Amino acid sequence: MSETETGWETVIGLEIHAQLATRSKIFSGSATAYGAPPNAQANLVDLAYPGVLPVLNGEAVRMAVKFGLAIGAQVAHHSVFARKNYFYPDLPSGYQISQYELPIVARGSIDVVLDDGTQKTVRVTRAHLEQDAGKSLHEGLPGVTGIDLNRAGTPLVEIVSEPDMRSAKEAVAYMKKVHTLVRYLEICDGNMQEGSFRCDANVSVRRKGAEKFGTRAEIKNLNSFRFVEKAINYEVARQIDLLESGGKVLQETRLYDPDKGETRSMRSKEEANDYRYFPDPDLLPVELDDAFVESVRVTLPELPDEKAVRFGSEYGLSAYDAGVLTSSRELADYYEAVAREVPKEPKLAANWVMGELAAALNKDGVELGSAKMSAERLAGLLKRIADQTISGKIAKEVFEGMWAGGATADAIIDAKGLRQITDTSAIEKAIDEVMAKNPGQLADFRAGKDKLFGFFVGQVMKATGGKANPAQLNELLKKKLPG
Amino acid sequence: MKIHTLTLAQLSKGLRAREFSSVDLVRGFLDRIDAHQPTLNAMITVMRDQALSAAEAADRELAAGRGGPLAGLPIVHKDLFCTEGVLTTCGSHMLDNFVSPYDATVVAKLKAAGAITLAKSNMDEFAMGSSNETSYFGPVRNPWNTDLVPGGSSGGSAAAVAARLVPAATATDTGGSIRQPAALCGVTGVKPTYGRVSRYGMIAFASSLDQGGVIAATAADAALILREMSGFDANDSTSVDMPVPDYMAGLDAPLAGMKIGLLKEFFDKGLDAENEKRIREALAIYERLGATLREVSLPNLPLSVPAYYVVAPAECSSNLARFDGVRFGHRAKDPRDLMDLYKRSRGEGFGAEVKRRIMTGTYVLSAGYYDAYYLKAQKVRQLISADFKRAFSEVDVLMGPTTPTPAFPIGAKTSDPITMYLNDIYTIGANLAGLPAMSIPCGFTAGLPVGLQIVGPHFSEGKLLNAAHVFQRETDWHTRVPERFS
């Protein structure tokens, strides 16, 4: 049932945590690489040993500023790190260093294109720097809890949106756009399985037309687009059911269980911690001057929105195609590498990249741009379509051959003799033979059964092994069949 | 020869001239430490073996004509400076099993300059106290009268220098913890400008106030140590990247024309009359040396104690959260669950004063109280800083008493924390404003030392040491040693 039918409106705000792709942690020199043995990347600062002090990683600041500039936000000349105090084993110092009253980035916005083509602007309240916590380990440790502090102190930028989204689909579209953006900016690897990109969703519902927001629940730690959509949809249905049966939504933190497909309560507002935020006296305020901000601005790459507009004007692509092809920097670069090789056929290139190639990559789980189908190799195939050496149909067969083995398009075309027949006399000869073999059908056609035209196309194609140039074949058949 | 009465400069000269070896020196002081430990309880850990082997190495360097500016000279570190491979307790049961895996920057710098660490000195638990009575390892006693407190929190360092168990000791000052014990024990103590000395490896009490410094018999000795321990440290974001002047070079500069401000607020009704006399006598000497005196008022200074007892506990409540029994330090036996582990480890590990401050700090940072307490205290702090700044536009240094009274009996103030807190009433202002300050001996009252406090603008350590040294050329209070230790 849609929301309009139920009379309820959904309100969603997201807090996205993006792990910054710095080599070392935000306040210590430990490496940030994923997958090291537990605690191999935790030094005395990460372990919060007595007497140690945090030192800010300038690269993390640079990355946060880059993000701020990319979303047209205000980059604060003065921002302050604060301590968020709470006890937890994966938080060795007993406080998380974050930014509270004075974040480094404030008031930006991100444009999102929805599936139906409508555009929506989501406002970003703030983006602040903070350190990640470690991990508690239970597997294979009967009776005890292990602590892995490799992730403790990894830099995060937390991107907080306004409650501007009105459906799970909008929330996913926004999250995907942020994902695209941080990867364009090369400030986050976007790896959701490894937890490099995750979000908390604040979800509430209200009667359509109501001004006041409903009470919200916060769903913690969603680490896939699919989970975000499912968790929000579940939560919306739960809240509507609750309200319609006379209940009240509690302000609480909930967890999404992907196995059961439901959210469940983690802690209520009453049980919530009083974090006792205060400015961290171990760190000086971050003071950024205009020169620094400008030095970051010049490193900004062409952003996805700008690139999509250019793809529209430069390659004549539809807004939809341009949007898909610019959804990641790698894909856009790949497309452009292909399009450069077949300059007269940008749409052909787009169709192949988004069609056959995407399907094959998806099917085999292969990375874009792998040697299996480099842009150069794909362009080699498209060139043969463009110069009419092969038809689009034959090209699909050649593509399969290229995908299966390492051969180039030309090698496969030659080996299999797939070169398109463009010699008029050869095609005519084939037509004559087909006409001679099928006198009945010919007679019927001439008696007015126009539909049989297709039959003859098929027969000639069969006879030529699919190699007859389709346009020429059509022309010649039109001439010859009527007699 | 009584080597323990020599200054660092004299000891260094003797070492260079091979009149005695570093091993002689170190053994001599270690023997004094051991001999007086039952009386004074000044140390928590004595590092005899490490110290003697370091002394042997120093002797080899000295024999080869090498060695840093402090080569072969003995020193003691307050037990909140992390020392690699050595117990670092912070005066607490919480850390009575903590062997630090690294050296504090101050420790590393002094080691690099050639100093030899003899011991780790006793202190108030986590530097929270003004009498050394909060130490888990028992109170330190005042060498001038062992029934009295030595002051705190650097009581072990001050008592050790006063009894000449060591020529100099590191110390730290969050609200007076160098100057107050220096005054009560009759020695010279320097709290540098906030940021002058690295805090890396100094177990934090209140990060925005803590500052490492030195206690020595004389200003010249303090200058020598301070020169080696100061300087920017990339591991401490709050340390200041400014060259360290040669504090020794300016010690003898004449004081003629120096403008001394007398802090009106310090000569209040709380100041013991005899103490005030000693201070006035000291000021007369400065006048005789050519300095001019004028009274200055810092109207917001009386607010320093309440502001301090909001800011310091707030920071400590957060700084001490890491002592949770999980990775190091005291861990409760057989915890039922995580909460039990936290509660019992901390409940058992911390003493009463530390708990009091953690609770106070937690309260002032809580939702709904933050603005009324923490924020307001920070505003008061800014007002006090502004008062000092105004004063230093008129005078070069400020002088006054370090403490309201001389040393008091052990146990006299333990039942009333507020009375105890008021002992720091004259010293806290410099911490809130981040200013350098010293205490030097300026006489006695009823056989107990009195300290003169000198406060200067940021990074004026050189000027303070100069003022102190010239005074010490004119007086001999700093050479007095309690009879049983002479």
pLDDT in tens, B160-196: 999 999 999 999 999 999 999 999 999 999 999 999 9
Q: What is the pTM of this model?
A: 0.91
pLDDT, tens digit (0-9, with 9 covering 90-100), for A337-387: 999 999 999 999 999 999 999 999 999 888 887 778 999 999 999 999 998
CB contact under 8 A, B200 and A283: no
Alpha-carbon distance values, B216 to A376, B74, B153, B213 (Å): 76, 12, 16, 10
Q: How confident is the model at residue A5 (pLDDT cuts 50, 70, 90)?
A: low
**Virtual CA dihedral for B324, B328, B331, B334, nearest 10 degrees?**
110
Q: Which of B202, B317, B327 sits opposite A51 (nearest CB)?
A: B202
Which one of 3.90.1300.10, 2.30.30.40, 3.30.70.270, 3.30.300.210 gives the CATH number of domain B3-258+465-485? 3.90.1300.10
Answer left, alpha or beta for residue A301, where phi above 0 means left and psi between -120 and 50 means alpha. Answer: beta
User: Distance (Å, rounded) from C-alpha B294 to C-alpha A333?
Assistant: 75
Nearest CA in chain B to A146: B326
- Residue range A424-480 forms a domain whose CATH class is mainly alpha
Residues in A touching B207 (Cβ below 8 Å): 281-282
pLDDT value, residue A113 = 86
- What is the per-residue burial (b if ≥16 Cβ within 10 Å, else e) of A334-368? bbbbbbebbeebbebbbebbbebbeebbeeeeeeb
Nearest CA to CA, how far is B327 from chain A (Å)?
Answer: 8
Q: Which of A24, A145, A273, A276 to probe the B interface (max B CBs under 10 A)?
A: A276
Q: Which of B232, B327, B344 to probe the A interface (max A CBs under 10 A)?
A: B327
Residues in B touching A276 (Cβ below 8 Å): 317-318, 362, 365-367, 370
Residue segments in chain B with a per-residue pLDDT below the cut of 70? 1
Q: If DSSP codes are grouped into helix, strand and coil, which group holds residue B452?
A: strand
pLDDT, tens digit (0-9, with 9 covering 90-100), for A65-119: 999 999 999 999 999 999 999 999 999 999 999 999 999 999 999 999 888 888 8
Q: Where in chain A is the domain with CATH 1.10.10.410?
A: 424-480
Q: Which of B365, B366, B376 to probe the A interface (max A CBs under 10 A)?
A: B365
CB contact under 8 A, A93 and B322: yes
Q: How confident is the model at residue A31 (pLDDT cuts 50, 70, 90)?
A: very high
ipTM over 0.90: yes
Nearest CA in chain A to B316: A281
Among residues A173, A192, A184, A275, the alpha carbon closest in space to that of A232 is found at A173
CB contact under 8 A, A51 and B104: yes
B463 is catalytic: no
Nearest CA to CA, how far is A31 from chain B (Å)?
Answer: 17
Residue B366, token pair as written in the block: 């809580």
Tell me which of A137 and B467 has the higher pLDDT: B467
Nearest CA to CA, how far is B65 from chain A (Å)?
Answer: 36
B78 is catalytic: yes
Q: Which of A87, A88, A137 to probe the B interface (max B CBs under 10 A)?
A: A87
Kindly tell me the burial class for residue A147, based on how many C-beta atoms sit within 10 Å of its own C-beta (0-12, 13-18, 19 or more).
buried
pLDDT value, residue A393 = 85
Hey, is the C-beta of A285 within 8 angstroms of any chain B C-beta?
no
Q: Provide CB contacts within 8 A for A159, sequence distance 6+.
A: A14, A15, A16, A17, A18, A67, A124, A127, A178
Q: What is the mean pLDDT of chain A?
A: 93
- To which H or E segment does residue A252 belong? strand A252-257
Average pLDDT over residues A31-46: 93
pLDDT value, residue A391 = 83
Give yes or no for residue A4 having a pLDDT over 80: no
User: Distance (Å, rounded) from C-alpha A278 to C-alpha A95?
Assistant: 11
Hey, is the C-beta of B342 within 8 angstroms of any chain A C-beta?
yes
Q: Which of B199, B238, B338 sits opposite A89 (nearest CB)?
A: B338
B304 is catalytic: no
Among residues B194, B175, B295, B255, the alpha carbon closest in space to that of B463 is found at B255
Q: How confident is the model at residue A201 (pLDDT cuts 50, 70, 90)?
A: very high
Alpha helices (runs of H) in A245-303, residue ranges in sequence order = 290-297
Interface A-B, measured as beta-carbon pairs within 8 A, has a size of 99
Q: Which of A93, A145, A278 sits opposite B365 (nearest CB)?
A: A278
Interface of B with A in 153-182 (CB under 8 A): none
User: Distance (Å, rounded) from C-alpha A278 to C-alpha B299?
Assistant: 27
Under a CB-based contact definition with an 8 Å cutoff, are residues A405 and A365 in contact?
A: no
A212 C-beta neighbours (distance < 10 Å), count: 7
Q: How confident is the model at residue A1 (pLDDT cuts 50, 70, 90)?
A: very low
Q: What is the mean pLDDT of chain B?
A: 97
Q: Which of B12, B153, B157, B439 is catalytic?
A: B153
Q: How confident is the model at residue A6 (pLDDT cuts 50, 70, 90)?
A: confident
| Residue A413 one-letter amino acid | I
Among residues B175, B168, B208, the alpha carbon closest in space to that of B191 is found at B175
| Residue A258 one-letter amino acid | P
pLDDT value, residue A270 = 67
CB contact under 8 A, A52 and B200: yes
Nearest CA to CA, how far is A334 from chain B (Å)?
Answer: 43
Residues in A touching B237 (Cβ below 8 Å): 53-56, 282-284
- Indicate the DSSP class of residue A246: T
Cis peptide before B21 (omega within 30 of 0): no
Tell me which of B359 and A1 has the higher pLDDT: B359
Average pLDDT over residues A249-254: 94
